[in-house]
Amino acid sequence: MNKYLGLFLFVLVAGFSNAQELLANVVINHQQVQSSDDYIYENMKKSFVEFLNNRKWTGDKYKLEERIECSFFITISSRNVSSNTFSGTLQVQSGRPIYGTNYKSTMFIVNDNNFDFTYVDQQPLDFNQNEFTSNLTSVLAYYAYLILGMDYDSFGKEGGGKFFTKAFDITTLAQNGGGIGWRSTDGSQNRYWLIENINNGAFKAFRDCLYKYHREGLDVMQNNKKQGENSIYKSLLALEAIHKRQPSSYLLQVFFNAKSDEVVNIFKNASDAQKQKLVPLLIKIDPGNTKKYNKIIKGS
């Protein structure tokens, strides 16, 4: 009996030592489309969670505690019961642990206002990297690779390149069969432009910032606060090159959606010289958060 118990424990531990990459939380708000079969949304949530968390997205080995925490907040605004189609919005965000602390830094927040998909209750979600299968799985996989790319870039210089490439490949395949958001003509703030800018060498300062801000900045602050803050300071100043090339950049908006509060907390006690140079720049490249950045000057 002990022999078989030992074998079971070995298999259990071995399985957990090679976990999947994502630890995604899915929330589905369907208050606008209440119906008699609202149970379908619980099944939908379970299906989305399984798709994101049980699929192996990379060839790397992950421990349970190394999985990337992320969230998918879905708001359903309309539903066609006869065609099993749904329309709504999607907010995606991911977090990253900071070395030597219990703090988790939010990597990015994306608000996707064009999330249209077909979902058949209890039907498996199919996805093929090399062909378009459905808008639903294309959107979920796109953001899975975006999460991975951002995370890997924050630990190694341009370490997420292969995942950004996969996200762009999904975009290309979905342009004919998918819904709104995959094409350059679908507006200036969509899936196409986000991944195009990330992969575009002209916006290299963004990917450099991901590494310098997190690996050389936040990860260092526990042992050398001044050095870490200086790396973050320089990484933010470098983002001006993106603003000059493309004012009101969607890429910078996605970044500062997640980072504005954190930046204020880091620099509210900075030197006057840093504040005088950084605050005007932040207000210029991220005007939507001007009130927040003025708090840096006040030191509160």
Distance between CA atoms of residues 166 and 127, nearest Å: 13
How big is the chain, counted in residues?
Answer: 300
CB contact at 8 A, 78 and 88: yes
Cβ atoms < 10 Å from Cβ of 178: 23
- Indicate yes or no: pTM above 0.95: no
Does 86 or 36 have the greater pLDDT score?
A: 86
pLDDT of amino acid 289? 96
Q: Range with the lowest mean pLDDT among 16-30, 66-80, 81-95, 125-139? A: 16-30
In three-state secondary structure terms, 127 is coil
Stretch 208-216: mean pLDDT: 98
Stretch 234-243: mean pLDDT: 96
CB contact at 8 A, 222 and 100: yes
Distance between CA atoms of residues 199 and 35, nearest Å: 42
Quickly count helices (H) and strands (E) in the chain. Answer: 12, 4
pLDDT of 47-69, one tens digit each?
999 999 999 999 999 999 999 99
Distance between CA atoms of residues 278 and 192, nearest Å: 30
Stretch 260-289: mean pLDDT: 96
H/E element, 89:
strand 85-97
pLDDT of 10-49, one tens digit each?
334 444 456 799 999 999 999 999 888 889 999 999 999 9
DSSP 275: H
Q: Range with the lowest mean pLDDT among 31-40, 201-210, 241-250? A: 31-40
Distance between CA atoms of residues 272 and 275, nearest Å: 5
Q: Range with the lowest mean pLDDT among 18-27, 107-116, 236-245? A: 18-27
> Which single residue is written with the structure tokens 């980072």?
259
pLDDT of amino acid 177? 83
DSSP 62: B
Confidence band of 300 (pLDDT split at 50, 70, 90): low
